[in-house]
Amino acid sequence: MTHRKTYLRSSVANMAYDRLGEDRERDRGVSNHEQVIQPGTDEELMVHGYRYSCCKAAIFYLLTILTLGMFYLVSYWKPEWRVYFMRRECSLSEADSLILKDADGQLHVVKVEVDDVEPGFPSQYVISLHVHDASSNVHNGPSDATHLSQPIYKVVRFFLFQHIKYIWTPEKMSFTRLYGYDVNTPISSLLNDFRGFTVREQMHRQKLYGLNVISVEVKSYGYLLVTEILNPFYVFQIASITLWSFDNYYLYATCIFIVSCLSVIISLLETRKQSQSLHDMVEASNTNIASVLRATPQGPDKVEIGTRELVPGDVLVIPRAGCTMPCDAVLISGNAIVNESMLTGESVPVTKIPVTVSEENEIYSPEKHKRHTLFCGTSVIQTRYYGSAQVRAVVVQTGFSTAKGELEGFLVTLIRTLDIVTIVVPPALPAAMTVGTYYAQSRLKKQGIFCISPPRINVAGKTKLVCFDKTGTLTEDGLEVWGVVEVKDNLMGTPVMNVSSIHYTSHLIAAMATCHSLTFLNGNLTGDPLDVKMFEATEWELEEPVEDDTQRFDNLIPTRVHPPQASLLPPCFEPSLPSPLSTTTSPPHPSTSPPHPSTTISEHSEQVGTHVAVHSLTDGDAGTVCCGTIDIQDDSLKQQSLEEPSQGSSNYDQVAPTVVKPCNREMYVDPPDITNIVETPFQVPYEIGILRQFPFSSSSQRMSVMVRKLGEQHMDLYVKGAPEIIQSLCKPESIPDGLGPILTHFTVQGFRVIALAYRTLHMKLSWHEAQKISRDQVEQDLTFVGLLILQNMLKPETSAVIHQLQQANIRTLMVTGDNILTAISVARDCGMVGTTHQVLVAKVTPPISDLPPSLVFEPADTSDIMIHSTTQDLTSVSITVDSNIPKYHLAVSGRAWALIYQYFPDLLPRIITRGTVFARMSPDQKAQLVEELQTINYIVAMCGDGANDCGALKTAHVGISLSEAEASVAAPFTSRTNNIKCVPQVVCEGRCALTTNFSVFKYMALYSIIQFVSVLILYSAYTNLSDPQFLYIDLFIVTVVAIFMGYTGPSLELVAEKPLGNLLGAVNMFSVLSQIFLVILFQVIAYFYLLQQPWFEPNKKPDDKEPDNVVSWETATIFYASSFQYLALCVAYSPGQPFRKPLITNVWLTVSLIILTVTTLVMLLCPWPWLMNLMNMKYASDSYLMFRIALLLFVATHFVISVSTEYFIASSRALKKCFQWVTCKRMPKNKYKIVLREMDEDPNWPPVGTPVYSYQRT
């Protein structure tokens, strides 16, 4: 089906809107001229409406003709001016063009599009349009007769801005952003309302949302050429070339014209090449095939379509072998194992689970429900599902609105930023100003550090503070299980190092064996490294239902765990059981229904005995799975292991080799006659089936699983998480005595401590009910069972890097989700907190009854920091108490941060200025902390592994993600080296690039001044430089030197001194002005020395018709002086230490300087006739040698003074202090320095032991 596009000259002036609101709006004229879209957000847009005006357009074109096109050219550079000149203000309902003002104050011009739609299109966006006589002056709508006689068209109005569609909503009389189902969509709707669109419904939504493509337009060479030439710099270049031609500088003008043409050609080729490369990369994903459900009269039917045809609301069928996601989608059935390294930088595969009915009352959010969301561009490695069922996902967003689309849109804007070839006036300026950053980016890439935002390299050079994640960043990725502490008789036991030595029936061991999200992937156990280490410590076996990975769906077919060989029988059991009989029936097809109550018996021989598989379900627990095996063996448990079950060995009726029909507790074992497995004197093997998982989240700081042990008629809940969280969920009487001191003992030593608890669930809870129940209903009234203690070692490089940053006066702090005392210990170990420094902890109490919220600081070694009454919501922070210790640190927990942020915002600057450890921080709180640090003028870098740090990495000025991916959306920098050595490398390169760019800018500024002074002096002598002399200076000296100046590498040592960050600062201005003074002084000295020579004959003023005499001693003298000045300034503006390597290490620049110096010396001291004639230079080979030597002494003196001024005066601290004294600067410029001064002057800070109350209203 094709859709016709409505092109109406006055697309809204001649339309009669449906009279339910449009006519009333038109009566109000321009009162609806402007609108604010998404106010108060980063995407806020101020929209102004304009409509084409014939009179104003005629005046515009007349002015264009009278100004020879200049008026049109100016309006081309400023599109909003063209709108002002050619259109008049009008209501948004009549506008054909809009001027948008974004949150940054930038103006943009967009066109309002009008499209035809057909019946069935979403009605909230449809406008009824009557087309009538265009000459009619009636703007209040046509008559009723017109409504009856004129054809009615259904149209929609919209505009596109930054690849996002904003559509006109007639009911609201405004433009609104068009969202998919990622905003304001209930989970219940995702579960129940999407069963596949019909073909017509799909076409309507495709008309609304557009194709699911992330398109990158590849413009033609002609278009690129015109846009390049109309660039203001090139227009100025053309004007300059024209002026030089009129002034008879034909050679110079021709050379510059050729260089400019070559530059334009190279620029066009590079731009087209990059556009084509990005287009091909994106287009590859646009041409894939996807399987979706289509509604038909016979029911949903799976069909294959191109991924570009996907629309929000489509039900996508994920293939069993995985795929690359073409859109953002929410899982509604089945599991998926996904690699999200492209988005998060985290290389560990993530298991995605479907939304459940327990969440049906929630509103879907991509951030909150990311565990259920498959993001565009991520790789689905494998899917898992029940039997032959399908893994389905509802498409919620397509095209540029997806996560990948945002990345690609960002890359499009970078194409021109990365182009360093474009040449403007002077020809070398753009290349010279970006070449330092380009070289730095290349060097970082060689070190395994990839940058997708080159301007951030310069920002990295000004870094004042670095935030580090702990686990995986400062410490090793892998955790080692140090041991466990089990609760016995309501007392904490002694630490046990060998976890497998604990009896297998212990709830502590059961919690460790089941409370995880591990799965087998290609035969390897995969999941969170902590979960892997925890499970391996139990030495239990994990068996998933079937051998085929793609059929493992733990929501329907439970995973089971058990001690090895399933041979655990009590000591009283006598293994004298006769050989049982085997009864088999055909298993039901797994797609016909969910698991039913059944009993299954199978038999196979083993070396150590007979293995009987038993499956039992009670009649009262519909759908409840209780599975197990009986192994008749003589051996008792001696060792435990991890293995993948073979096909047919599973105890689950969906895949067991021998299955019988469901019955009421009968067991097909004869002898003995067993009617109820619970009543049998023979105990079945100890196995646990994992029925449901509540995944770990940073906000809840815990994870839990619902399980069932073989032979029991009830389910259990096992929970693991942060000790303070688990403690708050446990029954008070189950909290053992001595928990506080033991917990503090381990955390202060840097161990990571996980608390474990369990709960026995109601016997009547069925399998189906277990799948629907919310976690809040079951995660309560827990029984505390013990502590899991893990050791997380520092990476070998961590301490050295922290010390290196501190020596460079770069503040370091830790932002982690771990326990606060563990974080403090790690901070001490790595050197963030000195051995003589003290850490204080602050407790924050929320308002209780009539008591206001309070904040108090206590030493970090107090025993009640971690363990506090569950009735009081207290949280801790750390600071110093001992007044004899000059330095103290603050450590803030996530809950304390939230309360301080809410009740003590005035103290927040003080806390973040002294804070070193921020623990138990959620991802949002990490980003919030970075924002607060930025508000007090810190240049913040953030380094993390990309998992829970994405928000902070994006918020920071310099985000560095540790990831195996080559580039990640999570951060501007991605390091493939999995340690923090990349941080000083990025800072060093940033300081080098910043210093280089400032030096090049100053050099180019002095180049213009030198040439300006030279021309002024020569004009006074009725002459000028010749064409070859201009070419020699511009192309051979300035261009070559400016390009190679940026090739100098960074210093390998970080120093406390920071590079200048303000180009127009006092120091930079002194540097430029002092060098300008020296340039003018020595050119004037050289010129006046020439005038004093007895043999010199001044150049005479030529007649009006005669050309200037450029072959003169005046020209030669100024040429020699200025040429050496260009070279001297290159040396002066090529600083080495402390931010760059010495000049001599830059081989290209050193060789260029030597060649250019020798060439200029040859022309001065030993002029070759052919060379002097080529340069149009006055010379005397055998005469005036003393004059030439004196001239050489002048330039040598200038060289010495120029370099000395730059190295010893402009860079000195004395000069900075002098400027501060002259400007009467008494207070620091940065807010954090002011805060530090205020704290030092406040004798009552920190308020140790004395609460601070907040009386502000919230």
Residues annotated as catalytic are 469
CA distance 652 to 600: 9
Please classify residue 1158 by burial: count the beta carbons closer than 10 Å to its beta carbon, then call 0-12 exposed, 13-18 middle and 19+ buried.
exposed
Report yes or no: 397 and 182 within 8 Å, Cβ to Cβ: yes
Please classify residue 549 by burial: count the beta carbons closer than 10 Å to its beta carbon, then call 0-12 exposed, 13-18 middle and 19+ buried.
buried
- Long-range contacts (CB closer than 8 Å, 24 or more residues apart) made by 246-253: 248/1107, 249/1027, 249/1030, 250/1027, 251/1027, 251/1028, 251/1031, 252/1027, 252/1030, 252/1031
Q: For the chain, how are helix, strand and coil distributed in percent, rounded to 5?
A: 40, 20, 40
Strands 127-130 and 601-606: unpaired
3-class secondary structure, 58? helix
The dihedral built from the CA positions of residue 769, 770, 772 and 774, taken in this order, carries a sign that is: positive
Report yes or no: 1042 and 1004 within 8 Å, Cβ to Cβ: yes
Report yes or no: 814 and 917 within 8 Å, Cβ to Cβ: yes
Q: H or E element: which one contains 46?
A: strand 45-52
Please classify residue 350 by burial: count the beta carbons closer than 10 Å to its beta carbon, then call 0-12 exposed, 13-18 middle and 19+ buried.
buried
Residues, the chain: 1258
Query: Which residues have CB under 8 Å from 734's CB, separation 6+?
Result: 487, 490, 757, 782, 783, 784
The dihedral built from the CA positions of residue 1081, 1083, 1087 and 1092, taken in this order, carries a sign that is: positive
CA distance 960 to 979: 11
Neighbours of 531 (CB within 10 A): 20
CA distance 838 to 886: 9
467 residue type, one letter: C
Tokens of 728: 């708050």
Tokens of 974: 């991605």
Rg, Å, the chain Cα set? 38
Tokens of 996: 């280089």
DSSP state of 473: I
3-class secondary structure, 260? helix
User: Angle, nearest 10°, between helix axes 429-446 and 982-1020?
Assistant: 160
Query: Which residues have CB under 8 Å from 187's CB, separation 6+?
Result: 355, 359, 360, 361, 362, 363, 364, 369
CA distance 17 to 115: 15
Dihedral pair phi/psi, residue 190, rounded to 5°: -65, -35
Neighbours of 865 (CB within 10 A): 28
Q: H or E element: which one contains 127?
A: strand 127-130
Cα of 505 vs its chain's centroid, Å: 45
Where are the alpha helices (H) located in 447-599, listed in sequence order?
A: 455-460, 507-514, 529-538
Report yes or no: 405 and 163 within 8 Å, Cβ to Cβ: yes
Tokens of 709: 């042990």
Strands 335-339 and 350-352: antiparallel
